[in-house]
Structure 1
Amino acid sequence: MSREIMNSRIVSLNVGTPVEAMHGNKPVQTGIFKKSSGSRHYLSTTGLSGDGQADLVNHGGPDKAVCVYFERHFPYWEEWLGNKLSSGAFGENWTVSDWTEHDLCIGDVVQAGEVIVQVSQPRQPCFKLGIRHQRPELTAHVQQTGFTGFYFRVLQEGEVGAGEGLTVLERHHAAISLAEANRVMYKGKNDLAGMTALLAVEELSDSWKQTLTSRIERLQQAGLGGNTD
């Protein structure tokens, strides 16, 4: 992966508050339904003003202040789903141009106007994404493709809006891309070296650190590990 990266921009800023949706015959609260906003919003360490999540255990919080999805993946999903998608279709707060999971690394620092953010982890899509598109298999397919999007934590608060340019201020020295992190999480569950390298990145989110630590301990206890897939 090249250490150079082009600038990006926020194509759309999307917010929404939790609503009730049906999961089979069961009603659930979800914040997956985001709408594009033409206004500027204040971004704090816990998220954007006007936005909210229903499940505060698995969504939101300092490590998941901003959910980001890549505009470049939309054509693939439009063909797969068979319909046109609008910004916010994946429950993301920022729909961004140009980049993909291969371009950004865990710990990279990015500026958007007066806001400074840092890549904390890939997104782990939950079943509510399937509810959003009425395709229960979508969640697993997002994991399989690696087209997950990711989260930012906030290093410097401020106002932000659609059209804001995104500039990488600092590339993390470990250079573990979001794509590689996804590979380790979903396809490299016996890859002890890969998990150890990812876990060593201090800027990785706490939830991913906990998952990786548990997996490594199980592998070591079983005397396994070493496979890359």
Structure 2
Amino acid sequence: MSEQVCSLAIPLLSVNVGPARPMLYKGKEARSGIGKLPVDGSAELGLVGIDGDEQADLVNHGGEDKAVCVYSHDHYAHWESVLGRTLGFGAFGENFTTNGLLEPETHIGDVFRVGTAVVQVSQPRQPCWKLSMKWGLDELPALVTQTGATGFYFRVLQAGSVKAGDTLTLVSSYSAAITVAEANRVMHTDKNDIEGIQRLLGVDALSDSWVKQLRSRLERLESSSPGLLL
């Protein structure tokens, strides 16, 4: 894919981290690192995340493809209305709270410089039950998915230091890339869109976990509906 050099700059409002802690959910104990709090000063961003941050479920969270969870503060007003409370930075378990970088405008594969680090969009976030546990609303993950305001993940291409007040500067964007919103549509809404799946799988920056899920789905669709390929 060809690269397109861009000049987008987005404010980083907060860098948020937290250890995995025991929490109660429906009467049972569960460990989660969803309780993120803002960092004072600089934080070191490595290939698998920010120093001081932790995930309890390393199968579905963390790792190189999901080193940094990103969420835009633009979404907060809606969720404050839904939840009936004021939300502080890190409310959705995100590591970076930004002002901008919305799902319809951000592409899988976009590369940003922030602080002294370089990061790349790898996949949308898939909201899970831990949001329900944090905010006491069982349907919250489904609502987040339905709105498309999911946020997304960065992989780290170059480790470095980051802090609130830094700017996320778009270094390059692949002209044929797929937006986070389009990736969400293919994954969650139009699940039988074979052409959409194929286009998404053509983005080499897509995370390994999404590649595996979509390849498996594509194989099932192709085997059950061979006529769609004619």
Q: Does 1:206 align with 2:208?
A: yes
Q: Structure 1 residues 182, 5: closer, same or farther in 2, change over 3 A?
A: farther
* Structure 1, unpaired ranges of 5+: none
2:101 aligned partner: 99
Within-5 A mapping of 1:66-215: 66-215=68-217
Q: Distance in 1 between matches of 2:151 and 2:227?
A: 28
Show the counterpart of 1:52. 54
3-state SS, counterpart of residue 170 of structure 1: strand
Residue 175 of structure 1, CA deviation: 2.6
CA 89–146 in structure 1, closer or farther in 2 if over 3 Å, else same: same
**Which TM-score applies when normalising by structure 1?**
0.95
CA distance in 2 between counterparts of 1:104 and 1:173 reads 12
CA distance in 1, matches of 2:75, 2:146: 14
Structure 2: unaligned runs, 5 residues or longer: none
**How many pairs are equivalent?**
224
Distance 1:211 1:39, change over 3 A: same
Give aligned-pair identity as a percent. Answer: 49
Contact 2:23 2:30 in 1 (8 A): yes
| Range moving further from structure 2, 62-71 or 166-175 | 166-175
Q: Against the structure 1 CA distance between its residues 225 and 83, is the aligned structure 2 distance closer, same or farther, given a 3 Å change threshold?
A: farther
The one-character-per-residue Cα deviations of 1:68-93 (angstroms, maximum 9, x if unpaired) are 00110001111111111111000000
Matched, 1:20 2:22: yes
Once residues 87 and 172 of structure 1 are traced to their aligned partners in structure 2, the CA distance between those partners, rounded to angstroms, is: 30
Give the Cα–Cα distance (whole angstroms) in 2 for the partners of residues 8 and 183 of structure 1.
25
Match of residue 225 from structure 2: 223
Give the AA of the match of 1:110.
F
Post-superposition Cα deviations, 1:151-207, rounded to whole Å, max 9, x if no partner, equal 000000011111100110000132310000011111010100001100111110000
Question: Contact 1:122–1:178 (CA<8 Å) still a contact in 2?
Answer: yes
Which amino acid letter does the alignment assign opposite residue 139 of structure 1?
A: P
Shift of residue 103, structure 1, vs aligned partner:
1.4
Counterpart code for 2:72? F
What amino acid is aligned across from residue 51 of structure 2 in structure 1?
S
1:102-153 deviation digits (Å, cap 9, x = unpaired) = 1110000000021100000000111001111011110111111110000000
Query: Quick check: 2:14–2:97 contact (8 Å CA) kept in 1?
Result: yes
Report if the CA contact (8 A) 1:122-1:181 is conserved: yes
Letter in 1 for 2:135: H
Structure 1: 4+ residue segments shifted above 3 A: 3-6
- Structure 2 CA distance for aligned equivalents of residues 59 and 224 of structure 1: 35
Contact residue 112 and residue 119 of structure 2 kept, 8 A: yes
- SS for the counterpart of 1:43 is strand
Residues 2-23 of structure 1, C-alpha deviation per residue, up to 9 Å, x if partnerless? x967410110110000011112
RMSD of aligned Cα (Å): 1.4
Distance in 2, Cα, partners of 1:119 & 1:175 = 11
